[in-house]
Structure formats: C-alpha cells, structure tokens
Amino acid sequence: MKPVVAVLAAALLAPLPLAAEAPPTAEHTPATITTTSATPAAPNAYDLYVAGRFDAAMKAGEASNSALGFVTAARAALADAQTRAGPCLDCLKRAEDYARKAIALDNSVSDAHVYLAVAMGYEARIVGPVWARAHNYPGQAKDELDMALRLNPKNAWALGALGGWNIEIVRTGGARLASWIYGATDDAGLAAFASAFRQAPDNLTVRYQYALSLSGYDLDRFRPQIDDALAKVASLKPVTAYERTAQHRAAELASLLKKGDRDAFDAMVRRYQGYPP
C-alpha cells in the first residue's frame, strides 16, 4: 500500500459534531427505562447526558435496551471521550459498540449512523493509518454518513460530519489525490458545512467543529471564517455540559489567535481534534 494512501485512509473525519444538543424531537425522543406504576421512573438518559453525567447516561441508555437508548449512550460515550484531557480509545470503542447496537435494533435512526462514523474517525486517529486501512474505516465511515443523510437529508450533524470528512481528506493527502481516491474536495466540504448552518444556524457545536476543521486545514486562508465561527460560538448560550466545554475551548483558541501564538494554537487544535500527543 502506498504511504500516501495509508495516510489518506487515516483521515476519516475532521472533528465532528458528537451529538444533537437541542432537545430531542419526536424523531429522536430520549430513551427512558420502562417501569411499572409502582416503581419510580429511572433517570432519563438524555437529561443525564445534558448534565454532563456521561457514565450515568450510558448506563441508563443501555438499560433501556432500545435503539434510542443506545443512541443516547453512544452520544454520552463520545462526549466522555472528547472532554477528557487526552485520547481515550476505550471510550471510543464503547461509543462504537453502542451505535452498532442502536443500528442493529433500528437501522432508521439517522444519528446512530453519524455517531458510528464519528467514533471510527476518532479511533483511527489514535491507532494510526495502517490499522484503519486494514479495517476499512474510511469506507465504513463514509457509508455511515451517506446512510444518515439518506434517512434524513436535513440532519445538521451528518452534514457537518460530511464537511469535516472532505476537508480532512484534502488536508492530509492534497487536493488531487483526495479527489482521485475518495472524491473529496474542500469545496464539497465547505458546501456541506454551509448546508449544516442553514439547517441549524445557532448550533454551537457545529460552529465550533467548523472552526476546528478549518484551523487544522489552512488557518491563513480561512482566518476570517475561523474568527467568525469562534465569535459565533462565544455569542451562543450553551445548553449542555458538552456545549459548555466546546465554548470554553473555542475561547481558548480565540485567545491564542489574538495573541498571535501560532505554535500553541496549532498544538491545541490538534489536541482538540483527538490526535495523540
């Protein structure tokens, strides 16, 4: 296998929106544990996730033994992984397992496919390109995103993930090889992000991940867009514990840009993208 192909294979996804932060809709109602009338209701997995009680949210979602319960558990596992100080492969494996269980129970839940793609993308950054290529993670991740958008073309999380996927592939392998091997272009990535913004203009997480993706790709070229995205993140009200973390991290990045500390900025972007030190 040519080295450049292996490198491209590892570039599955830019940092992706890990979960829908808005209150669930009828399409994606948070799972609760079924109880009898004489038994107090168990904690709602989504509410536990919102509060930042990720371990409890995973347990409640898993105990529901339903597709939506496992979706919430996958969301919590990804949040747990992304808010830690360093990469956590076990956390990501747990998220992948929950997402696969959700899909096995109900293949029609769009977010489950997004979370599976996200988990695989972050895993690949930890274990490296050879392992990722051997297990066909690039193809699997893209297939999951395509399925998510077939199920719900307006899914802002899937659109943001697709935007990050295109940009990261181009960043790693160059425009010509990215287009030839994967059909990825930066124009397609930007268009997917723009579609995500149209679907969810005030989504804090998607804006944050957009800023990370462009920062890791070409800071000089996209500095105005990055500054605008970080300012937008600062202006929005966080709803969940994960959003509070994202907003804090965006503020750190904006401060480093203002100071002109490029080395520290680049290192922080890489860390928040999930790469090992």
Least confident of 3-17, 182-196, 208-222, 244-258: 3-17
Say if residue 83's pLDDT is above 50: yes
Say if residue 127's pLDDT is above 90: no
d(CA 87, CA 34): 34
* Cβ burial, residue 175 (10 Å; 0-12/13-18/19+): middle
**Where exactly are the structural domains of the chain?**
3-272
Q: Which residues are within 8 A (CB) of 35 and not within 5 positions of it... i.e. 6 or more apart?
A: 41, 42
If you average pLDDT over residues 51-63, what whole number do you get? 97
138-168 per-position pLDDT tens digit: 778 889 999 999 999 999 999 999 999 889 8
pTM for this prediction = 0.85
- Per cent of the chain over pLDDT 90 is 69
Specify the CATH class of 3-272 in words.
Answer: mainly alpha
Say if residue 32's pLDDT is above 90: no
- Residue 177 binned pLDDT confidence (cut-offs 50, 70, 90): confident
pLDDT of residue 162: 94
Tokens 């509070």 found at:
244
* Cβ burial, residue 209 (10 Å; 0-12/13-18/19+): buried
pLDDT of residue 129: 63
85-117 per-position pLDDT tens digit: 999 999 999 999 999 999 999 999 999 999 999
Least confident of 18-22, 190-194, 217-221, 225-229: 18-22
Q: What amino acid is encoded at 182 in this protein?
A: Y
Most confident of 20-34, 38-52, 175-189: 175-189
